[in-house]
């Protein structure tokens, strides 16, 4: 394999040079534990303060409303479990959607096992929740609404501002899993009435193992990770200084470049979608045509199965996925594709290609040209395609 064509940026992204440079000194030069007493620790402390401001600025938050975590999964767990506990006197009802990441869904299952009731909202054919259904689901004992900002598989952007507005009118807290959206599309916690927000560093050219939970100052926040006094006694554990510094710098860069990046990614994405839909028969674009993440293209191809497609792409050096990396290894088709109403057979033939601004039109041309051959080959050995051809003779 000579060259890798990386089109799985929703799984993780490459750390940018600027981010890496910013992180380096905190491994060997300023390796201090920032919680220590001596003067040497102050560089670490200062760096964390700066990163906190950078992380907050990207979403219009106050820096004292940002808590550093180990990543999106921890942030999601924290938000749901802590709010459920802190507001248990008000009620035991939580509302979420059927297409959330497993970090949310499995945490909701945990809450259900512990006496909470969870409503899982359906989505429409594009993967968008229906506002009227959400409104109907809100009850006097509803304590939290958690709906993702953008879906990790099909890229659909949810109506976050409208959800936030409704939640605030009804006096319900609103959390959003913004792991795919933070740094990729503009977000503002004030304008969108967001009370809690999860984000992860490695999804926008920052490092792995670091994330944030934004928590509005007025929200009661209990710790979930117990131990030392870090993060105002809310999140124990020695600061991951290089990671936090990297997160901050990546957030700053994302803020500076967001328009340019979105334009470039959208151009690449639209070209990819156009070529696939125009040139490959029985292909379907999943998710919303325009209200989707700039880098996300997600297709289903009838009569073929996704893994075979991925293996053949992999042999050409093309990194792609069928859905989410977290779900691969499972045999069931994606819960997201079933939620948008796809039959099992179609849901099995899915392909997610997620581009970044580092991708090129040449790479897309290569991938589409090869994909055409791969799909033709797999269809030629598919009994479903054989039946389809016989029926149409």
Number of residues that bind other proteins (CB under 8 A): 22
Q: Work out whether 114 is an interface residue with other proteins (CB under 8 A).
A: no
Q: Would you say 52 or 348 has its CB closer to other proteins?
A: 348
Contacts of 381 (CB under 8 A, 6+ apart): none
Q: Would you say 33 or 380 has its CB closer to other proteins?
A: 380
Q: Give the Cα separation of 10 and 205 in Å (integer).
A: 11
User: How far apart are CB 305 and other proteins at their closest, in Å?
Assistant: 5
Contacts of 323 (CB under 8 A, 6+ apart): 153, 306, 334, 336, 337, 350, 352
Residues with a known catalytic role: 326
* Cβ(198)–Cβ(213) below 8 Å: yes
Q: Work out whether 393 is an interface residue with other proteins (CB under 8 A).
A: no
Among 307, 341, 360, 376, contact with other proteins (rule: CB under 8 A) = 307
Q: Would you say 137 or 384 has its CB closer to other proteins?
A: 384
Strand partners for 215:
196
Of the chain, the end-to-end C-alpha distance in Å amounts to: 41
User: How far apart are CB 369 and other proteins at their closest, in Å?
Assistant: 19
User: How far apart are CB 381 and other proteins at their closest, in Å?
Assistant: 5
Q: Work out whether 184 is an interface residue with other proteins (CB under 8 A).
A: no
Q: Work out whether 380 is an interface residue with other proteins (CB under 8 A).
A: yes
- Site map 326..365 versus other proteins, x via CB under 8 A: ---x-x-x---------xxx--x-----------------
User: How far apart are CB 383 and other proteins at their closest, in Å?
Assistant: 4
Q: Work out whether 386 is an interface residue with other proteins (CB under 8 A).
A: yes
Q: Work out whether 376 is an interface residue with other proteins (CB under 8 A).
A: no
Of 365, 375, 348, 367, which Cα lies nearest the Cα of 282?
375
Residue span binding other proteins (CB under 8 A) among the ranges 13-21, 56-64, 234-242, 300-308: 300-308
Strand (E) or helix (H) holding 177: strand 173-177
Q: Work out whether 305 is an interface residue with other proteins (CB under 8 A).
A: yes
Tokens of 202: 């490695």
The per-residue b/e assignment along 31-60, b for 16 or more CB within 10 angstroms, e otherwise, is ebebeeeeeeeebbeebbebbbbbbbbbbe
147: left (phi over 0), alpha (psi -120 to 50) or beta: beta
The footprint of other proteins (CB under 8 A) covers: 303-305, 307-308, 311, 315, 329, 331, 333, 343-345, 348, 380-387
């Amino acid at each position: 394999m000579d060259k890798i064509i990386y089109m799985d940026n929703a799984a993780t992204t490459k750390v940018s040079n600027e981010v890496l440079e910013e992180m380096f000194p905190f491994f060997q030069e300023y390796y201090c534990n920032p919680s220590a007493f001596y003067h040497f620790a102050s560089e670490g402390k200062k760096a964390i303060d700066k990163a906190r401001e950078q992380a907050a600025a990207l979403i219009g938050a106050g820096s004292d409303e940002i808590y550093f975590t180990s990543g999106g999964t921890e942030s999601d767990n924290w938000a749901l479990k802590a709010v459920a506990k802190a507001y248990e006197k008000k009620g035991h009802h939580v509302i979420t959607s059927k297409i959330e990441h497993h970090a949310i869904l499995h945490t909701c299952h945990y809450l259900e096992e512990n006496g909470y009731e969870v409503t899982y909202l359906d989505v429409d054919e594009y993967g968008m929740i229906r506002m009227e259904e959400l409104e109907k689901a809100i009850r006097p004992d509803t304590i939290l609404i958690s709906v993702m900002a953008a879906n990790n598989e099909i890229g659909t952007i949810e109506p976050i501002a409208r959800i936030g507005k409704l939640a605030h009118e009804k006096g319900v807290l609103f959390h959003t899993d913004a792991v795919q959206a933070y740094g990729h599309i503009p977000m503002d916690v004030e304008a969108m009435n967001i009370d809690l927000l999860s984000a992860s560093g490695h999804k926008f050219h920052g490092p792995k193992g670091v994330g944030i939970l934004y928590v509005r100052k007025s929200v009661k926040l209990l710790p979930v990770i117990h131990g030392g006094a870090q993060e105002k006694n809310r999140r124990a554990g020695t600061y991951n200084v290089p990671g936090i510094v990297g997160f901050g710098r990546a957030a700053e860069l994302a803020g500076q470049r967001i328009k340019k990046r979105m334009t470039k990614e959208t151009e690449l994405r639209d070209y990819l979608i156009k070529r696939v839909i125009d040139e490959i028969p029985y292909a379907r674009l999943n998710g919303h045509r325009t209200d989707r993440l700039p880098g996300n293209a997600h297709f289903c191809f009838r009569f073929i199965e996704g893994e075979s497609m991925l293996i053949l792409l992999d042999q050409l050096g093309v990194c792609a996925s069928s859905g989410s990396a977290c779900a691969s290894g499972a045999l069931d088709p994606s819960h997201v594709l079933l939620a948008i109403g796809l039959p099992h057979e179609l849901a099995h033939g899915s392909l997610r290609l997620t581009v970044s601004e580092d991708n090129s039109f040449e790479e897309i041309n290569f991938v589409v040209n090869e994909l055409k051959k791969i799909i033709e080959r797999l269809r030629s050995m598919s009994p479903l395609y054989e039946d389809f051809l016989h029926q149409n003779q």
